[in-house]
Chain A
Amino acid sequence: HSLKSLLLVALLVSHMLLTKEGVTSLPICPNGSVNCQLSLEELFDRAVKLSHYIHFLSSEMFNEFDERYAQGRGFIAKAVNSCHTASLTTPEDKEQAQQIHHEDLLNLILGVLRSWNDPLIHLASEVQRIKEAPETILWKAVEIEEQNKRLLEGMEKIVGRVHSGEVENDIYTPWDGLPSLQLADEDSRLFAFYNLLHCLRRDSHKIDNYLKVLKCRLIHDNNC
């Protein structure tokens, strides 16, 4: 009897010691629990999943649009465009991404997401007016807009956790491209959509990358 209890205790202790690494990972919150708080790792996991999904959808949407509407119109040559978020100075290579402080990077991410809130809403509604727009494009536009909102919420949570000082909320660029999406001339209107989708793909890729860099840096200590 005593041997059994000793064995049990030994097992428990060894389990605890062996899984010491797992202590830091908190359990996932069950539904409905009020006091449960997601760990930062969980929050980042979800954020990365969302950003990847958004980039995936944007990529597909751009490809479909390109196939369907852009061929033969010479859009590609003109696509050296500037997106409305170009005024935000974001890291352009790995070095800059490594050097920027994580709080600044988080703020930048938030700024880009906020700047896309408006355009996505209008994209979802205006894309329906395109003649014979495929269902897949319509659905993706709506989905991206929804997921972007969720990602914004998640990022605000993360920022709340990570920020030590005050939260800068003024990083934001307004979008004034709505009239171009409503032009009467079909070619010009489609070109405006093409640009917007191109910019969306690019910015979603940026966000996805920054979040992965942050996750590896903050959670896994640069050892993903």
Chain B
Amino acid sequence: MDLRHVLFTLALICANDSLSASDDILQWPQISKCRSPEMETFSCFWTAGNFYNLTVPRILQLLYKKSNEEDWKECPDYITSGQNSCYFNASYTSVWTPYCVQLASKNEVYDKKCFSVDEIVLPDPPVHLNWTLLNTSQTGIHGDIQVRWDPPPTADVRKGWITLEYELQYKEVNETKWKELKPRLSTMVPLYSLKTARDYEIRIRSRQRTSEKFGEFSEILYVSFSQIGIGCDHCMEEVEFPWFLVVVFGVCGLAVTVISIMLSKQPRLKMLIFPPVPVPKIKGIDPDLLKKGKLDEVNSILACHDSYKAQLYCDDLWVEFIELDIEDPEEKNRASDTDRLLSEDDLKSHSCLGTKDDDSGRASCCEPDIPETDFSASDTCDATSDSDQFKKATEKEEDLLCLERQDNDESLPNLANTDPQHQCRNTQSENNNVWAPFEDSIESPHLSVHTQISNQNSLTSTDFYAQVSDITPAGRVVLSPGQKSKLGRAQREGCTEQNFTMDNTYFCEADVKKCIAVTTHEENEPHVQEQGYNEDGYFTAESLTTTVANLGAPTAAVPSSEMPVADYTSIHIVQSPQGLVLNATALPVPDKEFNVSCGYVSTDQLNKIMP
């Protein structure tokens, strides 16, 4: 036996060497595939290889083993599936159990495969293909058919043991390439727009639904329309749609149209087809106005736009404004100074929204609301509000306005006593009293004044400014009503008497109620500063949004009672990015002849003032 074995091996090697170069390649016996058509039985097929005939006839065996078994068993049925096959019937098949099969002969194992039956399912092809005509086109050139078939008989689809998918392929008889349809579960499918003059071939194959591999194709089904008398032999060959010509002519026509539109003199048509691209434009700024507008208007526009923070502030306080509106409708109705001013002058018409020049910057700012928004700012002040007191205060203050000067009002002596630093264009002398420096006014009644003013402020109808009186350790800014409010108001009123087209609120206080922080206690001489108008506009917004560095000890809620409060402060140090140290420095007193337009300072005037 050993000798035979050795001889056999030698022969094999020689044969291998001699035959390797030739076409006849020696092949080992191999298991070609194992397949289960219906998941109830399975068969394995192998190829015997070339050397079967060479020396000693080998008897190949197929041995199998289930995963939980130890011994290899021999194939139960070599015949049913044909030559070189092994058939395992239902009793030998366990679907989800791993099997291993090996092709061996006596001592030698040629091939081995491991699998489980659910992985090797390849269904038989469908049977009983047939087709029926659905309809034909009007011209009779095209027709639709419905193809039907039955599932393979071996697959038990009715009991749900196996679920099959079908793929249909069809082509014209003299074509070479098959057209495929998507796999589907149903056993019928329509085919549309088949040419009645041609004959078609159809074939179908199936697979288990979650597998990738298809089984064999079914027999080919021939479709011939002429058999049922519909064939259109005398029909013209359908002309293919001349896509190329259509595209070319379409492009040419379009080009001609476009060119003609562009060259045409008709502006309307041009606008319709080619709408003009909007040029960049800053909202609220009219370039024409900048070119040829009056200085005042230009200043107003610029100021309005530069104080974008004021605008933000506007937006923030817009909400508060609304709240206040709801809360205190009555108090608003009180004849406060602001209201009077507003109603008298029809401030709305002077406001941004009401300017004749629609393009001015004012339109974008919430002008008329600014006075009210100031009051909301005042809510943040520590002022305790007393509505009655406020009422009195407002009424009294009204008297103090430019219109009716009542210098004897005790509550607001400062207004009466102060000397004007600025003059409105309006020559009313009472206006001159408005911009008195604060220090004159700061006396004992200030306390009451303050409270009154704060009451006023809290009732949100009159004051325009608020001072930053304190900064809490948490960083919050405590606002208290400012003396300037009266000034502002008077100023405003005086200014409103003039025919200003710009909104007074801009220049007068930039709508921020600011309690000017007594940041530097060094300076006890706050002077009204000329550029305060403009600065104020910029200032107040900024001061509200920045935490003012308090150099001194945080003053009490009523700082003015202790030290003079500056009307305006200049920026001493900018502690970027969050801090501004305000310095109530004495700036040069403007010339008497300096007539500040109630509102903005012209650049010339500004240059005179600034050191």
Query: Does A79 lie within 8 Å of B160, measured CB to CB?
Result: no
Q: What are 24 contact pairs spanning A and B, CB under 8 A? A: A52-B210, A77-B114, A79-B114, A80-B114, A90-B96, A92-B95, A92-B96, A93-B94, A93-B95, A94-B40, A94-B159, A94-B161, A97-B161, A98-B159, A202-B116, A212-B160, A213-B159, A216-B158, A216-B159, A217-B160, A222-B158, A224-B157, A224-B159, A224-B160
Nearest opposing residue in chain B for A215, CB measure: B160
CA distance in complex: A79, B96 (Å)? 13
CB distance from B300 to the nearest CB of A (A): 60
Report B70-129 residues with CB < 8 Å from chain A CB: 90, 93-98, 100, 114, 116, 118
Query: Does B100 lie within 8 Å of A80, measured CB to CB?
Result: yes
CA distance in complex: A77, B112 (Å)? 9
Set A82, A90, A209, A213: member contacting B68, Cβ < 8 A: A82
Residues on B facing A (Cβ under 8 Å) = 39-40, 67-68, 90, 93-98, 100, 114, 116, 118, 156-161, 163, 209-210
CB of A81 closer than 8 Å to a CB of B: yes
CA distance in complex: A59, B160 (Å)? 20
Please name all residues of chain A whose beta carbon is closer than 8 Å to the beta carbon of B96 when the two chains form the complex: 90, 92, 202, 205-206
Counted as pairs of residues, one from A and one from B, with CB atoms less than 8 Å apart, the total is 66
Select the residue from A205, A215, A217 with max chain B CB neighbours within 10 A. Answer: A205
CB of A176 closer than 8 Å to a CB of B: no
For A, the interface residue count at a CB cutoff of 8 angstroms equals 31
Nearest opposing residue in chain B for A85, CB measure: B96
Select the residue from B156, B159, B209 with max chain A CB neighbours within 10 A. Answer: B159
Nearest opposing residue in chain A for B65, CB measure: A80
Please name all residues of chain B whose beta carbon is closer than 8 Å to the beta carbon of A216 when the two chains form the complex: 158-160
Residues on A facing B (Cβ under 8 Å) = 52, 55-56, 59, 76-77, 79-82, 90, 92-95, 97-98, 202, 205-206, 208-209, 212-217, 222-224
CA distance in complex: A216, B163 (Å)? 11
CB distance from A144 to the nearest CB of B (A): 14
Given A77-B114, A205-B118, A209-B161, A94 contacting B156 (CB threshold 8 A): yes
Please name all residues of chain A whose beta carbon is closer than 8 Å to the beta carbon of B210 when the two chains form the complex: 52, 55-56, 59, 205, 208
Query: Does B114 lie within 8 Å of A217, measured CB to CB?
Result: no
CA distance in complex: A214, B159 (Å)? 9
Query: Does A93 lie within 8 Å of B90, measured CB to CB?
Result: yes
Please name all residues of chain B whose beta carbon is closer than 8 Å to the beta carbon of A77 when the two chains form the complex: 114
Other 15 A-B pairs with CB < 8 A, given A80-B98, A94-B39: A52-B209, A55-B210, A56-B210, A59-B210, A81-B67, A82-B68, A92-B96, A97-B161, A98-B159, A205-B118, A208-B210, A213-B159, A216-B160, A217-B159, A224-B157
Please name all residues of chain B whose beta carbon is closer than 8 Å to the beta carbon of A81 when the two chains form the complex: 67, 98
Nearest opposing residue in chain B for A77, CB measure: B114
Please name all residues of chain B whose beta carbon is closer than 8 Å to the beta carbon of A97 when the two chains form the complex: 161
CA distance in complex: A104, B189 (Å)? 39
Please name all residues of chain B whose beta carbon is closer than 8 Å to the beta carbon of A94 when the two chains form the complex: 39-40, 90, 156, 159, 161
CA distance in complex: A209, B95 (Å)? 11
CB distance from A96 to the nearest CB of B (A): 9
Given A94-B161, A216-B159, A222-B159, A79 contacting B95 (CB threshold 8 A): no
CB distance from A147 to the nearest CB of B (A): 15
Query: Does A95 lie within 8 Å of B160, measured CB to CB?
Result: no
Given A92-B95, A92-B96, A76 contacting B160 (CB threshold 8 A): no
Nearest opposing residue in chain A for B157, CB measure: A224
CA distance in complex: A90, B158 (Å)? 21
